[in-house]
Structure 1
Amino acid sequence: MGLQISNLNKTYSNGVQALKNVSLDIPSGMFGLLGPNGAGKSSLMRTLATLQQADSGTVTLGDIDVLNNKEQVRKILGYLPQEFGVYPKISSYNMLNHIASLKGVSNKAERKDLVESLLNKTNLWQFRNKSLGTYSGGMKQRFGIAQALIGDPKLIIVDEPTAGLDPAERVRFHNLLSEIGENTIVILSTHIVEDISNLCNNMAIICLGEVVAKGNPIVLTEGIKGRIWKKTIEKAELNNYQEEFQVISTYLKSGKTVIHVLSDNQPEASFQASTANLEDVYFSEITTRMNTVSA
């Protein structure tokens, strides 16, 4: 079962066009959606999760018309939004049991087996009787995945799932998502390039509501091979370099500013060749799109 998105558009009442002719073909497995804050990622996720209506376009999940058969979609959908609330005084066991009941798992024995399986899968079994209000950020995210897995979903959407997690929790969460993505469509929406690089075989970059790049991360990176150059400069020199070259990113190293420039040829003798990575792909696409809009 695949997810096909064709010419999807969404404009809010304040005039902001959040989605502009978005078209994607998403197969089973982990699919990364990468973009800066305000790019349209959450608007796309909310539309796919049947929480808002698109203005135009089509979305099909297998043979299901997602935009016109919301109830059918919700039966096979798991959704972990960027921010979700929990009842702080209820244990994870009781909360999952309640959610499973709401999702139609009426048989008590089946529900018990399901809840226990999910708690073990998300490594929360030993904390099953603790109230959700005592959970760490990572534990709450794992609980969020547990509730999203109820009902054996065919499509799972996770929006900025690792934001705020410490490194150990982030690794555990990555491992869990990878396991889930073996047999399910999992859409990972994030602005963290490393998450996409580590987890996804397919991805898209979205900026200002438009898809500006899509494909396999390795193939996309190969596309800018030999075109990334770096140089260490003084911070006060940055504006001059931005005016003269296509600076796609900057970062600090030992108190100095390091710039990455996209160029088919060595910009000048003081620049060194830099091995291209997915972050360079991301920044080059975003910078190009932003420059086109401001031109």
Structure 2
Amino acid sequence: MQLEINNLNKQYGNGVHALKDVSLTIGKGMFGLLGPNGAGKSSLMRTLATLQDADSGNVRLGDIDVLNEKDKVRQVLGYLPQEFGVYPRSSAVELLDHLALLKGVKNTGERKALVNYLLQKVNLFEHRKKAVKSFSGGMRQRFGIAQCLIGNPKLIIVDEPTAGLDPGERNRFYNLLSEIGEEAILILSTHIVQDVRELCTQMAIMNKGEVLYHGGVDQALELIEGKVYEKSIEKGMLPQYRENYAVISDKLVGGKPLIHVFAEEEPANDFVKAEANLEDVFFAKINQLV
């Protein structure tokens, strides 16, 4: 089964053109959708999750017309939005049981077995009687994945799932996503480059509603291989370097800005060749350097 997105457009009433002729082909496994805030990622995810209509274009999930057969999509969809609300006093087991009932699991015994299985899968079984509202951010995200998995979905969408998680919880979440990504089409929408590098082999980069890159992660790195150079500079010199070089990014290292620049040939002024990384690709694409 593949997800085929063709020439998808969405413009809001305030004039924001959130999706501009977006076309992607996404197969089984983990797919990273990378872009800054406001790139159109959430608009695309909400459209795929049948939460809003597109202005034009078409989307097919196997034999399902996603834009016109929303009930069929919802039967095979697992969705973890950026803001996952929960009932204030419901325990994990109660809330998951309720969500399973809403998804059509009517048999009480079958539902109980499913709920216990899912809580064990996301390592929350020992916390099943605690209110979900009291969970840490990472625990709540793992609960969100548990509810995604009800009904053995064919398409799973997770929107900014690791934002705000500490490194330990992020690693646990990586492992969980990697495991479930083997069984379905899983779209990971994020602005965190590390998420995509750690988890995905296929990816897309979006900005201002447009797809700037669609392909393999390793192939993306090849676009800038051998063309990234770095240099530590004095504070206050960044505007001058931005004027004279194609600066990809800058970050503080040891209290001084370390800049990465894109160049076909080694630039002067003591630059050294840097090992290209996915963050360089991301910023190079966003800044239209490649």
Coarse TM-score class (shorter-chain normalised): over 0.9
Q: Which runs of 5+ in 1 are unaligned?
A: none
Extract structure 1 runs of 4+ deviating beyond 6 A.
none
Q: Does 1:23 align with 2:23?
A: yes
- SS state at 1:288 partner: coil
After superposition, give the CA deviation of every residue in 1:57-92 in whole Å (9 maximum; x if it has no partner).
010000100000001100100000001111121100
Deviation at 1:269, TM superposition (A): 4.1
* Aligned residue type for 1:212: L
Deviation at 1:34, TM superposition (A): 0.2
After superposition, give the CA deviation of every residue in 1:12-45 in whole Å (9 maximum; x if it has no partner).
0001100000000000000000000000000000
Aligned to 1:167: 167
Q: Find the aligned partners of 1:177 and 1:132 in 2 and give their Cα distance.
A: 20
Q: Find the aligned partners of 1:14 and 1:52 in 2 and give their Cα distance.
A: 16
Deviation at 1:122, TM superposition (A): 0.4
Q: Find the aligned partners of 2:209 and 2:241 in 1 and give their Cα distance.
A: 29
* Aligned residue type for 1:160: E
Percent of matched pairs sharing the same residue: 62
* Aligned residue type for 1:232: S
Aligned to 2:261: 261
Aligned to 2:8: 8
Aligned to 1:79: 79
Give the CA RMSD over aligned residues: 1.0
Aligned residues: 290
After superposition, give the CA deviation of every residue in 1:219-258 in whole Å (9 maximum; x if it has no partner).
1101211100111111211101101111010000111111
Q: Aligned runs of 1:41-52 on 2, under 5 Å?
A: 41-52=41-52
Q: Find the aligned partners of 2:133 and 2:8 in 1 and give their Cα distance.
A: 38
Q: Which runs of 5+ in 2 are unaligned?
A: none
Q: Find the aligned partners of 1:8 and 1:235 in 2 and give their Cα distance.
A: 44
Q: Find the aligned partners of 2:131 and 2:213 in 1 and give their Cα distance.
A: 43
TM-score w.r.t. the length of structure 1 is 0.97
- SS state at 2:288 partner: helix
Q: Find the aligned partners of 1:114 and 1:61 in 2 and give their Cα distance.
A: 26
Q: Find the aligned partners of 2:46 and 2:286 in 1 and give their Cα distance.
A: 22
Aligned to 2:223: 223
Aligned to 1:245: 245
- SS state at 2:236 partner: helix
Q: Aligned runs of 1:88-107 on 2, under 5 Å?
A: 88-107=88-107
- SS state at 1:164 partner: coil
Aligned to 1:181: 181
* Aligned residue type for 2:260: H
TM-score w.r.t. the length of structure 2 is 0.98
* Aligned residue type for 1:141: Q
After superposition, give the CA deviation of every residue in 1:165-215 in whole Å (9 maximum; x if it has no partner).
111110010100000000100000000001100000100000110000111
Aligned to 1:283: 283
Q: Find the aligned partners of 1:76 and 1:227 in 2 and give their Cα distance.
A: 43
Q: Find the aligned partners of 2:3 and 2:105 in 1 and give their Cα distance.
A: 26
Q: Find the aligned partners of 2:147 and 2:141 in 1 and give their Cα distance.
A: 10
Q: Find the aligned partners of 1:83 and 1:73 in 2 and give their Cα distance.
A: 21
Q: Find the aligned partners of 1:79 and 1:133 in 2 and give their Cα distance.
A: 19
Q: Does 1:234 align with 2:226?
A: no
* Aligned residue type for 1:8: L
Q: Aligned runs of 1:60-79 on 2, under 5 Å?
A: 60-79=60-79
* Aligned residue type for 2:185: I
Deviation at 1:271, TM superposition (A): 0.7
Q: Find the aligned partners of 2:170 and 2:226 in 1 and give their Cα distance.
A: 32
